[in-house]
Structure 1
């Protein structure tokens, strides 16, 4: 079995994706059925816990989609449990040093490639033991691991982070990056734009694919031109806010919808 996201990445081009923040399987299924087959479940800032996210994973896969899980942290326990429950594509937040990146990469893989704890015959990831070669041959091949570069410290260390074996992609977080540089909610500030360019140059030099969110003054076409391979562009909360605002504006009193800051 292969990871469809890795297969799509191998074919080239940009993969658009949608955030799932509210933590409901029905929302995930609706998004997949209406043109968003790649979803990013936001375990860092969104609603729910691991079992909520597994329900989303099941709904998305049933509808023909695929899920990337942004973990709430980089703990071995969280990584191990998410792997066992069947996730195979991940974003790990706030990875600032090569030592942290190496520890993260090791946590995702069974020995001798890493230190993932063993329970392969009894977990969802192996189809409850129906895949006898899961631990030895398949598990590490299915993984797509992205570490999030979202702090000025990570930019300083990105050469070494990008060289860590087992890290597949760099996920650029422009909002937190801007904040770490003293420019909270000002992603278009020249200093922030220079940091983004520096990340893009470093990743290209290492042949490391990039992912990010739409924003920072750059839209879909800009990001595709810059070589980003995964771009998360919409989220369920904003879609609900915008839809509610448009519907309210159609009423006779003409109340204007609220302005939505895109994530």
Structure 2
């Protein structure tokens, strides 16, 4: 490991960064994504097949292939966040952050005193290279990137306060759950949904909070960059495999003039 969070540096420099989801919990797929051009990979421990420990192990595969890893943790509990950080995650995506109070707890769980109340075991954890980095506890916060997922309409009024919390770097808009919270499940382009998401964007831009989201919901990468998003997650490995499989099967049927059973 190194102490430098290159992804955080890229975002702070104003770069628009794109990423792919890793849903299959295997190092081979993690490596494949990096080697096919996705230099930032989100390891999904919320909805993907890997549990937290397996997901944290996949950081090694992404980094060894030359990529940068983000871990979407399954929950925002103190134990989960502490475990993820100790095991070497520097960039975290935290789901279902519904209030400023929750965001404040997350920031506290992730930072050592006096900034927060992260449990101390710095000399023996992977994050410090097992004690080799003797300044780890004093500098860990500098390289930490925390993305708080904004996924409920009730959170819109909390965005400005969330932006003021030391340690929260980005509001990551989850449009699917956001739409569901407004009784528009799987209708992310509904005008009411888009209107509320636009309000999140407006507030975040006004207070200088970085924005992230997924591609889609009626908007392209370029559309999202224009709206102020600096981090955009695109395809996932399952969808890529399924689309390629369907296309290959359709080609075989077209060439043979028949359909499989």
* TM-score, normalization by structure 2: 0.95
Structure 1 stretches lacking a partner, 5+ long? 257-263
For residues 88-237 of structure 1, the aligned pairs below 5 Å read 88-136=90-138, 138-237=139-238
Q: CA deviation at 1:227?
A: 1.7
Deviations 1:43-73 (A, max 9, x none): 1111112231133110111111011111101
Q: Which residue of the partner structure matches residue 260 of structure 1?
A: none
Backbone CA RMSD of aligned residues: 1.2
Q: Distance in 2 between matches of 1:255 and 1:92?
A: 44
SS at match of 1:230: strand
Q: Does the 8 A contact of 2:147 with 2:172 survive in 1? A: yes
Q: Distance in 1 between matches of 2:169 and 2:36?
A: 29
SS at match of 1:116: coil
Moved more, 24-33 or 5-14: 5-14
Q: Distance in 2 between matches of 1:33 and 1:207?
A: 33
Q: Pick one of 37, 40, 51 that aligns with 1:38.
A: 40
Q: Distance in 2 between matches of 1:156 and 1:194?
A: 13
Structure 2 stretches lacking a partner, 5+ long? none
Structure 1 residues 247 and 52: CA distance shift in structure 2, 3 A: same
Task: Count residues with an aligned counterpart.
Answer: 255
Q: Does the 8 A contact of 2:150 with 2:171 survive in 1? A: yes
SS at match of 2:178: helix
Deviations 1:190-237 (A, max 9, x none): 001101110100100110010000111001111111121110001000
- 4+ residue runs over 3 A deviation: 253-256
